[in-house]
Amino acid sequence: MESLLQNLKGTKDFMPEEQQIRNKIRNVLEEVFQNYGYRPLETPILCQYDLLASKYAGGSEILKEVYRLKDQGNRDLGLRYDLTVPFCKVIGANPTLQLPFKRYEIGKVFRDGPVKTGRLREFVQCDVDVVGVKDTIAEAELMSLTFEVFRRLGMGVYIQYNNRKLLTGLLEFAGVNKDLINDVILTMDKIEKIGEDAVKEELVQKGITEDMLSKLFDLLNEDFSLSDFQDSPNVNIREGIAEIRELQSYLSGLELMTKTQLNLFLARGLGIYTGTVFEVFLSDGCIQSSIASGGRYDKIIGKFLDSGQEYPAVGISFGLDVIYTAMELKAEAQKKSPVDLLIIPMGTQVEALRLACALRKKDIKVEIELRSIKLKKSLDYANKQGIPYVVILGEDELNKGCVKIKDMSSGVEKELVIAEIEKFNF
């Protein structure tokens, strides 16, 4: 009987005090979605399995995680694994909808996949999509919406983006057979999880030669310049670069360039994407995986309808559960931290000791990074210890009489005159 009281792996009960926080997150999301002109939609959790398994849906990888069942009429059904496929079904079933059509949906989805921090098998997705806009202004608006969501939640984030046309073109440029490109992209999407060496090994097993690998990774690992390839004979490369530049012009106008970065390795595993892809990460790194992601999928709706018509579409999905987990970790870190500030000397140990002594005399609790390690590891340490602020003390800053101070909660970094740091509100 005791085993019956245990939740299934990957599922969770949320007690009232937990659900109140989750409701707050949901309310913030809905408020921002509506402020940007998106309207609510609700679709069924139960779907025809053939819809979920369509070659135009999530692809073979996602099918391994589908919860499959039959009803009393012996019909083949499945639990939805995302909100995008049901949304495409709605657009296809309502051809008279006026475009552009902007909707959001918040609901449970199910994937029989690995369970880890912030990743369950039953979880809530919060999707925002627009159909009927070809221009990358739609992507720029979604990125702006994303930063507003996390600003209201008090969480610092940054966005990495890429373009599937550009990535496809670079794979073609490296000599990868067109029949293998989707498989290669699925493998490259694992690079953050399993590392570059393991990705290379898997690509070799899929038939990619050492020469192709060398050419591709040399290209992606170097300081890639869009201008070097803008006149490429490869159509995918040219179109991908044009779309990236258009998007960057909008991001620049929104003053978001410093919060976003082009990542040529970013692939997004689902095969539906046709242009821009992007992922959202927490600035403090308390959760390493993305907490929201999206991209452009211009072809999937038309293919569901078996028509040659394209329905330009782009969307983003927020993971409510992973956002909630991040807020829990942040709250726990803030509770346990006995230190106000970590000073990280960059070849400035003596000056760091002097600064720490001066701040301690002002009753500021200060810790100094005593190890000679990379900056990222020191920042990870500060995050795990729940230290709210970090001062980076480098020789360049000293020469200017300044320090860099980083708010580990928001990710915001700014320069302060050394004399002013004692007055800073820790």
- CATH number at 363 reads 3.40.50.800
**Of 295, 330, 365, the domain-final residue:** 330
Considering the domain architecture, whether residues 16 and 138 belong to the same structural domain is answered as: yes
**Looking at residue 206, what is its pLDDT?**
84
Residue 401 in any domain: the answer is: yes
- Assigned domain for 12 exists: yes
Token pair, residue 392, equals 């980076």
Task: Kindly report the CATH number assigned to the domain that includes residue 40.
Answer: 3.30.930.10
What DSSP line would sit under 206-274, residue for residue? TT--HHHHHHHHHHHHS---HHHHTT-S-HHHHHHHHHHHHHHHHHHHTT-GGGEEE-TT---S-TT--
User: For residue 209, what pLDDT is reported?
Assistant: 86
The pLDDT value recorded for residue 1 is: 55
Annotated binding site: 82-84, 111, 125, 129, 268
Of 305, 330, 355, the one marking the end of a domain is 330
What single-letter amino acid sits at 97?
L
Does one domain contain both 14 and 78? yes
Q: Are residues 350 and 387 in the same domain?
A: yes
Same domain, 385 and 347: yes
In this structure, the answer to whether residues 387 and 260 fall within a common structural domain is no
Give the model's pLDDT for residue 58.
58
Same domain, 322 and 382: no
Burial class (CB in 10 A: 0-12, 13-18, 19+), 310: middle
Please identify, among 330, 352, 382, the residue that sits at the C-terminal boundary of a domain.
330
In a domain, 88, yes or no: yes
pLDDT, residue 311, reads 92
In a domain, 91, yes or no: yes
Give 10-residue mean pLDDT values along the chain (426 residues). 82 92 97 98 96 71 90 96 92 91 97 84 96 97 98 95 93 86 82 82 86 80 74 91 97 96 83 92 87 93 78 96 89 72 92 91 90 87 87 87 86 83 71
Stated pTM of the model: 0.76
Please give the biggest Cα pair distance in the chain.
Answer: 77
Residue 296, pLDDT score: 96
- Shared-domain flag, residues 146 and 262: yes
The answer to whether residue 336 is domain-embedded is no
Q: What is the pLDDT of residue 259?
A: 95
Same domain, 323 and 402: no
- In a domain, residue 335? The reply is no
pLDDT at 422: 72
Q: Which domain holds residue 377?
A: 341-422
Q: Which residues are annotated as a binding site for L-histidine?
A: 82-84, 111, 125, 129, 268
- 317 and 348 co-located in one domain: no
Whether residues 250 and 352 share a domain: the answer is no
**Together in a domain, 242 and 362:** no
pLDDT at 403: 86
Q: Which string of b and e fits 396-421 if b means at least 16 CB within 10 Å?
A: ebbeeebbbbbebbebeeeebebeeb
Domain count, the chain: 2
